[in-house]
Amino acid sequence: MAGTQFTGPEICAKPAHEVVAMLTAGEVSPGELIDAAMTRIAEVEPAVNAVVTTCEARARAAVPDPAQADHAGWLAGLPIGIKDLTPVEGVRTTWGTLGYADHVPAASHPLVQRLEARGGVVLGKTNTPEMGAGANTFNAVFGATRNPWDTSRNAGGSSGGAAVSLATGELWLSHGSDLAGSLRTPAAFCGVVGFRPSPGLVSPGPSGNRFHPEAVQGPMARSVRDCALFLDAMAGFNPDWAISFPPPEEPFQQAVLRADEKVRIAFSPTLGGFAPCSAEVEALLRRALAQVARAGGVVEEDCPDLPGLDRAYRTLRGLLWISGTGREPEHIQRHYKPTLAQNIQQGRELTVDDVTHAHMVKSDLFDRMAAFLKQFDVLACSVVGLMPGPVEEEFPREMDGQPLTDYIDWLKFSFLSPTVGLPAVSVPVGLSETGLPVGIQLIGRPRGEARLLQVARAVEVACGGPLGPIDPMRSHG
């Protein structure tokens, strides 16, 4: 039994690893944490709309028995959030689309089963754009999720609800997924950490497409250390998934504890001219990396050539949409928003030459990145090239006066990692002059999660992080 009673704000603001230690020591109970989280959710949800479905009774009934638990990545009864693209047994799961608005799955996704076996207690589902498509979290089922740093702004996507649930202290850890920055963009916009692992470390992938490596699931947290804790809980070999592989023997948390300031970072604010970056974001990233250099790191401006990346990524993305979301029955697809329907149609129009080209480019880009990263720990670049826009705007149409072509053109910084299968993380590096957080993207070596987390921790320390949690704030304008 817990020996101390904690109020909601006090315990909700604590780091996840400290709360897990308190749970393990019996200083707080899972029931007290559920009480605190539900109180905090009730306080902030009217302003942000992040945790769209709660399952308090299920959570209380699912508190783990330590004697029967898998203690690898042990969460000890910590309440967590699951993105509303991932089924949880007996809990409404909508994929953000009207066709599934009342869907209640009979079984949990294998990742949810693993997290529960390792002591995670699912307390709620977090908001996502329809079918996870797009980097502004809104849908016709639940509406829009708002950025807590400025509730007139969007929270990014597609793991926008997850990011906001962390930034506001509703949850200590929250699960997400990533195809075009869906773990990284909302993390950058909301001042938290979003980690995209190598394909195969966190399993399984999309149902019915076990060999697909571009879409992955991963952890979000308020700090790098907490993100490593959640990754330890998620990671593990799954023989039912074709490309699964086991994590290293040393837990990621232990690797983070050995982090120091001696890091070697290559930096390119535009990925060698591949993606546009606003002057404001570039200045903030340069300021952050100057702090890393002053702390003892090495930062050099460099980037490999990335020929064919845009076309290859869009082809691989189109293949995913037509093999999954595009195969839903007509009574589901008729609700899809125009941008999602357009993406599926683009996938259907691909030729065998398009697919061949994408796989050849993918192989070439992997070789280029693997060789480049022998000289550096990470390649650093923007997460997105601009600050969060109005919540009502589905996607930006221009950046610093230059037009953007479509609803993923502004997400081009996210294309490299999924195309070549490298791990990547978004780390908060401070606030803009208007008080909005900005994140930097770090792309690591093949299956180099441990070193990537160490560099992320070095950046976090040099930049004075972590941030939050915060109370939702109205527009700064």
User: For residue range 340-389, what is the model confidence (pLDDT) as tens digits?
Assistant: 999 999 999 999 999 999 999 999 999 999 999 999 999 999 999 999 99
pLDDT band with cut points at 50, 70 and 90 for residue 204: low
3-class SS of residue 243? coil
Conformational region of residue 107, where left means phi above 0, alpha means psi within -120 to 50, and beta covers everything else: beta
* Active-site annotation holder among 14, 83, 125, 362: 83
Its sign, for the CA torsion 401, 433, 424, 50, is: negative
216-221: strand order across its sheet: 51-54, 120-126, 78-83, 173-178, 216-221, 193-196, 424-431, 437-443, 378-382, 264-267, 298-301
- In this prediction, residue 34 carries a pLDDT of 97
Mean pLDDT for 434-451 is 98
Beta-bridged to residue 177, according to DSSP, are: 217
* Active-site annotation holder among 174, 182, 223, 244: 182
Beta-bridged to residue 78, according to DSSP, are: 120
- In this prediction, residue 240 carries a pLDDT of 83
- Is 158 marked active-site? yes
Q: Tokens 């086991």 sit at which residue?
A: 246
Q: Is 98 exposed, middle or buried (0-12, 13-18, 19+ CB in 10 A)?
A: middle
- Is pLDDT above 70 for 476? no
For residues 251 and 253, what is the distance between their CA atoms, to the nearest angstrom? 5
Mean pLDDT of the chain: 95
pLDDT band with cut points at 50, 70 and 90 for residue 130: very high
- In this prediction, residue 2 carries a pLDDT of 45
- Is pLDDT above 70 for 206? no
For residues 349 and 1, what is the distance between their CA atoms, to the nearest angstrom? 60
Mean pLDDT for 22-43 is 96
pLDDT band with cut points at 50, 70 and 90 for residue 154: very high
- Is pLDDT above 60 for 85? yes
- In this prediction, residue 1 carries a pLDDT of 39
Taking only the tens place, the pLDDT of each residue in 60-72 is 999 998 888 888 8
Structural contact between residues 160 and 50, judged by C-beta atoms closer than 8 angstroms: yes
* Active-site annotation holder among 29, 108, 158, 174: 158
- In this prediction, residue 3 carries a pLDDT of 45
- In this prediction, residue 474 carries a pLDDT of 77
- In this prediction, residue 205 carries a pLDDT of 57
Using only the alpha carbons of the chain, give its radius of gyration.
20
- Is 182 marked active-site? yes
Beta-bridged to residue 83, according to DSSP, are: 126
For residues 320 and 326, what is the distance between their CA atoms, to the nearest angstrom? 9
Q: Tokens 């200045």 sit at which residue?
A: 283
For residues 232 and 254, what is the distance between their CA atoms, to the nearest angstrom? 10
Other CB atoms within 10 A of residue 286 CB: 13
- In this prediction, residue 241 carries a pLDDT of 85
- In this prediction, residue 69 carries a pLDDT of 84
Beta-bridged to residue 199, according to DSSP, are: 202
Q: Are strands 264-267 and 298-301 parallel, antiparallel or unpaired?
A: parallel
- In this prediction, residue 208 carries a pLDDT of 62
- Is pLDDT above 70 for 207? no
Mean pLDDT for 152-156 is 98
Other CB atoms within 10 A of residue 371 CB: 10
- Is 174 marked active-site? no
Q: List the one residue out of 230, 58, 30, 51 whose CA is nearest residue 124.
A: 51
Mean pLDDT for 240-252 is 93
pLDDT band with cut points at 50, 70 and 90 for residue 407: confident
Greater model confidence, 346 or 402: 346
In this predicted structure, which of 2-16, 244-258, 409-423, 438-452 has the lowest mean pLDDT?
Answer: 2-16
Q: What percent of the chain has pLDDT over 70?
A: 97
The pTM score is 0.97
Q: Tell me, rounded to whole angstroms, the distance of Cα 270 from its chain centroid.
A: 21
For residues 161 and 144, what is the distance between their CA atoms, to the nearest angstrom? 9
Taking only the tens place, the pLDDT of each residue in 257-313 is 999 999 999 999 999 999 999 999 999 999 999 999 999 999 999 999 999 999 999
Instruction: Name 432's Cβ contacts closer than 8 Å, sequence gap at least 6.
Output: 280, 284, 387, 438
DSSP 433-449: TTS-EEEEEEE--TT-H
Mean pLDDT for 130-148 is 97
- Is pLDDT above 90 for 83? yes
For residues 218 and 183, what is the distance between their CA atoms, to the nearest angstrom? 7
Taking only the tens place, the pLDDT of each residue in 159-171 is 999 999 999 999 9
